[in-house]
Amino acid sequence: MTPCRPKRSLAVAWLGLLLAGCANLAPLRETDAVGALVPATMDLDVAPTAVQWYLPAGQASALLVFQHGFTRACGHLRGSSRQLMAAGLMVLCVDAPMAGGNPALAAALARRLATARTAPDGRALPDRIIVAGHSAGAAFAAALGAALVEIAPERLAGALLFDPVATDRFEAHLRAVSAAGRRPVLAAMAPPHRCNAMSNALPALRSIRSEALAALRDGFVGVRLAAGATHADIEGEDSDVLAALACGRPQAAPIAQVRALAVAWALDLALGRRPRLDGIGAAQPID
């Protein structure tokens, strides 16, 4: 029989994650040489919703919607978002609950992006949109991508998924995004762990890869990060002790690796290049 104390400890850790997700992590506006972080609100059907914009100093190559995970917040992706901004991408994150990937919010955001024309600083939004997300935020990204396929398919460049956790209709949404390999779907996976539902997204990823290969395309790239990688690596230094207790503490080398992949793959999608696995170090391709 499992002792009660570990169960209580795990329960406390998950409760802490819930509380962490409710915390107000939105920073004040910041501007520096690489760009500006601009907290704002966006009208998404029901009510104004808090968002964070990362606006690069130069021309943006694409708009990357980068969604946080379940019980988390946009502030947990701050360092990764800044690196993406420094590479010339305009980044948008929605501070909202991600239970089940929040497909209703994803659909509302797709409708808003299909009609929006300008960023908070008045510049035009990039034509190309990349959907990205961590954990349950990856399910949100898939739902957002599928909704964009319905209303603005020419603007969708592909998807970036960081240790995704599959929810209802995850595979169907990814299939719409991929379109049998016409659009890249890229995934970086940590080793199986309770925080990624024991890699429950793998069957869906393998399915869309098989569909792309059957169509004589190579529209999916997935890597399993090396031992030592954790579910929260994409959060890096913006993660917290409660996430470390539940999912493992992110270390410098895996953080750097997954962020390097994020930047390289995002630029590939932004510029219409075929993504590659160069520089993945000890990571292994997912068959």
CATH number of the domain bearing residue 149: 3.40.50.1820
Q: Where are the beta strands (DSSP E) in the chain?
A: 30-32, 35-43, 48-56, 63-67, 90-94, 129-134, 156-162, 185-189, 220-224, 284-285
**DSSP 8-state symbol, 99:** G
pLDDT of residue 123: 95
Cβ within 8 Å of residue 241, ≥6 positions away: none
pLDDT of residue 233: 97
Is residue 159 a part of any domain in this protein? yes
pLDDT of residue 39: 97
Distances from the Cα of 165 to the Cα of 33, 81, 199, angstroms:
35, 20, 7
Report the residue count for the chain.
287
Is residue 7 a part of any domain in this protein? no
pLDDT of residue 220: 82
pLDDT of residue 281: 65
Distance between CA atoms of residues 200 and 194, nearest Å: 10
Is residue 77 a part of any domain in this protein? yes
Q: Are 114 and 79 in contact (CB under 8 A)?
A: no
Quickly list H helices, 87-194: 103-115, 136-151, 170-178
pLDDT of residue 278: 62
pLDDT of residue 22: 38
Is residue 60 a part of any domain in this protein? yes
pLDDT of residue 43: 92
Is residue 157 a part of any domain in this protein? yes
Helix, strand, coil distribution of the chain in percent, nearest 5: 45, 20, 35
Is residue 272 a part of any domain in this protein? yes
pLDDT of residue 154: 97
Helices (H) and strands (E) in the chain, counts: 8, 10
Is residue 2 a part of any domain in this protein? no
Domain count, the chain: 1
Domain ranges, residue 76: 34-285
Q: Which residue has the tokens 């964070």?
A: 52
**pTM > 0.85:** yes
Cβ within 8 Å of residue 92, ≥6 positions away: 51, 52, 53, 54, 63, 64, 65, 66
pLDDT of residue 32: 84
Concatenated DSSP letters for 142-168? HHHHHHHHHH-GGGEEEEEEES----T
**DSSP 8-state symbol, 125:** P
Is residue 175 a part of any domain in this protein? yes
Distance between CA atoms of residues 123 and 36, nearest Å: 13
What backbone torsions phi and psi does residue 26 show, to the nearest 5 degrees?
A: -70, 120
- In the chain (287 residues long), the average pLDDT of successive 10-residue segments reads 40 38 47 92 89 97 98 97 98 97 97 95 96 98 98 98 97 98 96 96 95 90 89 97 94 94 96 78 75
